[in-house]
Amino acid sequence: MRLPRGRGLVRLGAGAAVLAVACLAGLSGGPAFAADSLGSQADLAVHVPGPQVALGAGEKDIRIDVTNHGPGNVLHGKLTIGTDNLADGVSVDLPTGSGCETQGTKVVCDLDALPAGGHDSTVSVFLAHDPKVAKVGPVGSLSVSVSSELADPDMTNNSETVQLELVNPGIDLFVQGFDVQLSPGQSATLPFTVLNQGTVATVTSDVAVRLPEFVTFVADPACDLSEHESAAVCHFGALAPG
């Protein structure tokens, strides 16, 4: 699922391109699955990596990551999101619009098709607060769960409840990568987003990127590449708050 519309993201492209260098025939296969089981199961997992918000910061993009560990490809995923016990002066904007339906105090949203093999889908909710009313500390909870049309062999990672919390003012960095599809011999730009959602500017900002096997970076002046060009550290200047 794409990020909800109406929220501007500052995208700082590294300008680096990635190159697929292996023939598909040379790739080693994973575990074999019988024809009647392949596609019948998919281990979905959900995680909320950053539920803390700096006091006095603007609206915070809180990311919800859904991962398909396979073996099947999910075509019709569902993500359920709810909040509870929000403190005075705190509000959470849940996804709305096409593909999302309010069910009581929760919202249920359709997910985009999610291929197997660790592919991710990201949804965002947005937390806003009034610093004159809200105080440092826990300010409510966010509960998320995921399901699909396929049987899930591990239900322990299908739901998560995190404590939303206001913390002291400071830097709050957010980074998100985007899928790139390559055929052998092709190259393409690898886009990613970097935001400072805190209250204090950074002096410099570095982003480390590691590529999967058989994929390498093309040289880029903004990034330091590893010896085998499969990892990079890209350097940026100051990132202002917001």
Dihedrals phi, psi of 96, to nearest 5 degrees: -140, 175
Coil vs helix vs strand at 27 = coil
Domain membership flag for residue 174: yes
Q: Which pTM does this prediction carry? A: 0.74
Going by pLDDT thresholds of 50, 70 and 90, the confidence category of residue 179 is: confident
Q: What angle do CA 50, 1, 122 make, to 5 degrees?
A: 20
The confidence band for 180, taking pLDDT boundaries of 50, 70 and 90, is confident
pLDDT band, residue 36 (cuts 50/70/90): very low
E strands, 148-237, are 159-167, 173-177, 187-189, 192-196, 205-210, 215-218, 223-225, 231-236
Taking the C-alpha atoms of residue 9 and residue 191, their distance in angstroms, rounded to an integer, is 12
- CATH (domain of 169): 2.60.40.10
In a domain, 36, yes or no: no
242, part of any domain: no
Does the residue 97 lie in any domain? yes
Two structure tokens written together for 76: 């019709």
Pair type for strands 52-54 and 223-225: unpaired
176 occurs within a structural domain: yes
The answer to the question of residue 53 being in a domain is: yes
In a domain, 11, yes or no: no
Q: For the chain, how many structural domains are there in total?
A: 1
d(CA 51, CA 125): 10
Residue 222 structural domain: 17-25+43-236
Q: How confident is the model at residue 220 (pLDDT cuts 50, 70, 90)?
A: low
Residue 124 belongs to a domain: yes
What is the overall mean pLDDT for the chain?
A: 82
162: its two tokens: 């995190």
Tell me the three state secondary structure of residue 76. coil
Give the whole-angstrom CA distance, residue 228 versus residue 107.
45
